[in-house]
Chain A
């Protein structure tokens, strides 16, 4: 046996160091990948079951006297979820049509409209609701939880959920006529 082979230095990196480095790198890559995936995902897609959420309601805009509403309580009805804000000019384009549609479908008892007020202040929201004569259920998106779940890209956006809680259609941007709203609700009622 030669001298050099006796004094052979340690080879490689200890296994625990390797594990830590790889875990760190894989974790970092996973975080980046999740972020990229989420950014590319867009809004929730039709066909998805919408998970339950709670919407606190503005007083005077409640539903059956309740101060907050849970989506799961509305199973069996078509739910139209409209994201809006008082500072949003395009929202004003569809405000009258949305209210008109609500007036049409309210007597059937088969459709519920939910206005979700995104990043807004209550006094201004009330001015807006009064200005457009909106009287369907409305409330603030507290801590932007609902909009984050739907991954909205802006306002207005409208989501049509069927009687089984499945998302059927997403409208990005304002409706320009009431026929566009009818075209989404009527097939769900058949």
Chain B
């Protein structure tokens, strides 16, 4: 039986090959991990999806996605950079709030309170005003009609007025 024998040269070549494979695998792993940390390149639509939810304090009433100023362009670039870094929409918005204040948000952070409180206040105010006017109007109407009927029922006590009313009746 012939023994399997490898020459020292072939052993060195095998080791080199193994090292090369391991090296290539490590490089591939590192490259892959870097790529996954960076995330895909964001499109303009990705940037604008977040930008339209923000307002730059310098250009009030203009959403960031359509704002033409240099400041807004820089903000959009920053959003793009953060998306490339793999930051989520919530993280980016939070960063902008920390840096520039909550007023940069198109919608208030606590939506329920922000929309509910004014609506309730307006409804309550309207109800109070309605009730108020109702109470103001009712007594005066009732009072005036009561006075009129009282006048009709009761003949005047003043002799001059009584005579005048009598004369008027005759002329009718």
Please judge, given known A-B contacts A119-B58, A140-B99, whether A13 and B74 are in contact too, CB under 8 Å: no
Q: What chain B residues lie within 8 Å of A18 (beta carbons)?
A: 132
Q: Which of B122-147 contact A (CB under 8 A)?
A: 125, 128-129, 131-132, 135-136, 138-139, 142-143, 146
B75 and A13 contacting across the interface, CB-CB below 8 Å? no
In Å, the complex CA distance between A9 and B140 comes to 9
Q: Supply 18 further A-B pairs (C-beta < 8 A) apart from A17-B128, A143-B98, A144-B100.
A: A2-B150, A4-B150, A9-B138, A12-B135, A13-B132, A13-B136, A17-B131, A17-B132, A18-B132, A20-B128, A24-B128, A87-B71, A119-B71, A119-B100, A142-B98, A142-B99, A144-B101, A145-B101
Pairs A–B under 8 Å by Cβ, sample size 28:
A4-B146, A4-B150, A9-B142, A11-B139, A12-B135, A12-B139, A13-B136, A14-B135, A17-B135, A20-B128, A21-B128, A24-B128, A85-B71, A87-B58, A87-B69, A87-B71, A119-B57, A119-B71, A119-B100, A120-B71, A121-B75, A121-B78, A140-B99, A142-B98, A143-B97, A143-B100, A143-B101, A144-B57
In Å, the complex CA distance between A126 and B102 comes to 24
Chain A residues close to B by CB (< 8 Å): 2, 4, 9-14, 17-18, 20-21, 24, 85-87, 119-121, 123-124, 140, 142-145
